[in-house]
Structure 1
Amino acid sequence: MDSFKKYLIDYQQIINEKLFTYVREYTDPGRLQEAMLYSIEAGGKRIRPVLLLSTMDALGAQHNRGYSVACALEMVHTYSLIHDDLPAMDDDDTRRGQATNHKAFDEATAILAGDALLTLSFQVITEDPSLTDEEKVYLVRELSKASGGTGMVAGQMEDMLSESKQISIDALKSIHVNKTGQLLSFAITAGAYLSHPAEKSLQELTKMANVLGLIFQIQDDILDITGDAGAIGKPVGSDEGNSKSTYPKILGLQGAIKEKEQYTDIALQSLKRAGVNATSLSRLIDYLSSRDR
């Protein structure tokens, strides 16, 4: 097995085990817990927590101090997917190759399962004995900003308002810097914060983090056209069906690919200047840019 693939699988397994443990320990058995675990157990690439832990690895920090934060980040991401799939939002029937939460349970249960995962994310950070009080306050504050009304949720609102409209590439970029980019950026900045890097390295990692969401989203848009539904775990062409603005729709497929490659180059150059270019973190950037699911 390729060493990088093994690296991803090993971290995904660690995150999965800890996610299951957190949900089982911090929630009461019953329908709500079942719905939470249903979406957690659906799997996923765990890109956000792996990015956080890879940042700590690249900077020579002890990554075990990032486990609770990495899991909290994935809980926020999973909650957002549960709510995204609802009939009032994207109205999707499948996610990660299985029925969406509201199809497997019901809309009310899905909403509450998402709510519970969001609030649990902050609990697991604040109850982590390996973090100082100062670190807990910083991480909860930054995760709140990244996921809330000036971050992911704001981007989701912009995305909804832009449906069936012709918008500019700058407006599309603004949507995805918030909707997709904020949580990905948090993964990098939180991992760096817990690692205490030199100021120059921190600045360059922040630059890289700022374009990471765009790389991820443009590739998502490309896969919605060129991808395989079986590999992706949801139907292709759903963006067009929902009248969403996408990079290929505005720039054309080749234009979108070129845009993604430019952002990827910016990210890799920043990693090089930060002195962490020959690490699993740089391999992750290549993976995000070229993934097929």
Structure 2
Amino acid sequence: MTTNLKSGLSAYRDRIDSRLAVLVPQALPGQSELDAAIAESILAPGKRLRPLMAALTAEDLGGDVETAIDAGCAVEMVHAASLVLDDLPCMDNAAMRRGRPAIHMTFGEDVAVLSSIAVLAGAFQLLATIPGLAARERSEAIAILTRAVGTAGLVGGQFEDLRGGRATRALSEIATTNGLKTGSLFSAAVEIGAVVAGANGRVRALLRDFAADLGHAFQLLDDLLDGTSSAVLIGKDVGKDQGKSTIVSLIGRPSVMHRIERHLADAHQRLSEVFGPTNRMHMLLDLIFDKALAGSLEPLGVAAAERRDPGAGAR
């Protein structure tokens, strides 16, 4: 089953990459440097988790997968733009992203900022013109992604991290920031997938709760990996959290690992309420986290097979 899932996900990623290549916003004639920066920010190798989650959600709820892939590509474009901005010297001052030089390192800060704006604009233009969505669903999708980007999402989370990250913060405050920074686009991806499928409000609420737990787990995992010695492992600069107030610095790595597992257990529970105990989204979560956590959790005596509720069924 895992082999079949991996090959299936690989096929989805190929379809997503193909669509992203078509959907890349084009600069004006003669602006080849801007064109290259836009394309590099969007098409640099990545997991494509957000469009993948949008597609799986929509398809498993009975929606059109091609429409969901395009909508998910809009979310991926927002994610790509946010990474360009996040890496700038005035933000995290990072030199590497996705195993390559950050956009501002290759093209300069001015082009990096302009390319991120172009990618953001392209994302919303895409959502506004997807032919597979009716006008009402388009408006809902645009509103969902707007919230994810704005002060109740990425912008609010990044501001909190920049202004409060070096100060002593309560664990709950850090968790709120993590949710805004990381959970917002996961939430947008699955909820937009649900909109494509015409899902009801209860399903959308459960998917938002799932995405919130996934976002917390993902950010905690990222914080753990930031303490590793090799940038090659995660494809970006490490040690950027030194001196920052993080959950890892407050409660330590073993407690953070267990905290990740609690978030994942809650995420699986939400998925079970929407899709049942056997679903590709369950297995996708396991694929994302098992490999990354296995080496760290084994010293704690927590085997991968034990980290999920044994009564929850195959995932």
> For residue 77 of structure 1, what is the aligned residue in structure 2?
79
> For residue 267 of structure 1, what is the aligned residue in structure 2?
267
Contact 1:32 1:109 (8 Å CA) reproduced: yes
CA 1:114–1:198 in 2, change beyond 3 Å: closer, same or farther? closer
**What SS does the corresponding residue of 1:189 show, helix, strand or coil?**
helix
Q: Does 1:28 align with 2:62?
A: no
**What SS does the corresponding residue of 1:239 show, helix, strand or coil?**
coil
**What SS does the corresponding residue of 1:43 show, helix, strand or coil?**
coil
The separation in 2 between residues aligned to 1:276 and 1:58, in whole angstroms, is 11
The separation in 2 between residues aligned to 1:215 and 1:28, in whole angstroms, is 41
Q: Does 1:67 align with 2:84?
A: no
> For residue 9 of structure 1, what is the aligned residue in structure 2?
10
Q: Does 1:43 align with 2:45?
A: yes
Tell me the TM-score normalised to structure 2 length: 0.87
Q: CA deviation at 1:50?
A: 0.7
> For residue 276 of structure 1, what is the aligned residue in structure 2?
276
> For residue 98 of structure 1, what is the aligned residue in structure 2?
100
Q: CA deviation at 1:227?
A: 7.0
Q: Cα deviation per residue 1:23-76 (whole Å; 9 max; x = unaligned)?
A: 15x543522111111122211111111111111132232211112211110110
Contact 1:189 1:209 (8 Å CA) reproduced: no
Q: CA deviation at 1:291?
A: 4.9
CA 1:8–1:275 in 2, change beyond 3 Å: closer, same or farther? closer
> For residue 253 of structure 2, what is the aligned residue in structure 1?
253
Matched to 2:282, the amino acid is S
Contact 1:56 1:191 (8 Å CA) reproduced: yes
Gaps of 5+ in 2: 294-315
The separation in 2 between residues aligned to 1:41 and 1:199, in whole angstroms, is 34
The separation in 2 between residues aligned to 1:199 and 1:179, in whole angstroms, is 24
> For residue 116 of structure 1, what is the aligned residue in structure 2?
118
> For residue 297 of structure 2, what is the aligned residue in structure 1?
none
> For residue 292 of structure 1, what is the aligned residue in structure 2?
292
Matched to 2:23, the amino acid is Y
Contact 1:216 1:288 (8 Å CA) reproduced: no
Q: CA deviation at 1:198?
A: 5.3
The separation in 1 between residues aligned to 2:51 and 2:231, in whole angstroms, is 25
The separation in 2 between residues aligned to 1:187 and 1:270, in whole angstroms, is 16
CA 1:13–1:244 in 2, change beyond 3 Å: closer, same or farther? farther
The separation in 2 between residues aligned to 1:19 and 1:275, in whole angstroms, is 28
The separation in 1 between residues aligned to 2:41 and 2:150, in whole angstroms, is 21
Higher mean alpha-carbon deviation, 202-211 vs 134-143, is at: 202-211
CA RMSD of aligned residues (A): 1.9
The separation in 2 between residues aligned to 1:291 and 1:239, in whole angstroms, is 23
Contact 2:224 2:253 (8 Å CA) reproduced: yes
Contact 1:185 1:212 (8 Å CA) reproduced: no
Q: Does 1:133 align with 2:144?
A: no
Matched to 1:20, the amino acid is A
> For residue 307 of structure 2, what is the aligned residue in structure 1?
none
The separation in 2 between residues aligned to 1:195 and 1:227, in whole angstroms, is 43
Q: Cα deviation per residue 1:83-131 (whole Å; 9 max; x = unaligned)?
A: 1111101111111111110111111000000000001101111121111
Between the two proteins, the alignment pairs up a number of residues equal to 290
Gaps of 5+ in 1: none
Q: Does 1:188 align with 2:190?
A: yes
Higher mean alpha-carbon deviation, 193-202 vs 13-22, is at: 193-202
The separation in 1 between residues aligned to 2:205 and 2:117, in whole angstroms, is 34
Q: CA deviation at 1:226?
A: 3.9
Q: Does 1:58 align with 2:53?
A: no
Higher mean alpha-carbon deviation, 166-175 vs 225-234, is at: 225-234
Higher mean alpha-carbon deviation, 150-159 vs 192-201, is at: 192-201
Task: Work out the percentage of aligned pairs sharing the same amino acid.
Answer: 32
Contact 2:55 2:193 (8 Å CA) reproduced: yes
The separation in 2 between residues aligned to 1:267 and 1:281, in whole angstroms, is 10
> For residue 308 of structure 2, what is the aligned residue in structure 1?
none
Tell me the TM-score normalised to structure 1 length: 0.93
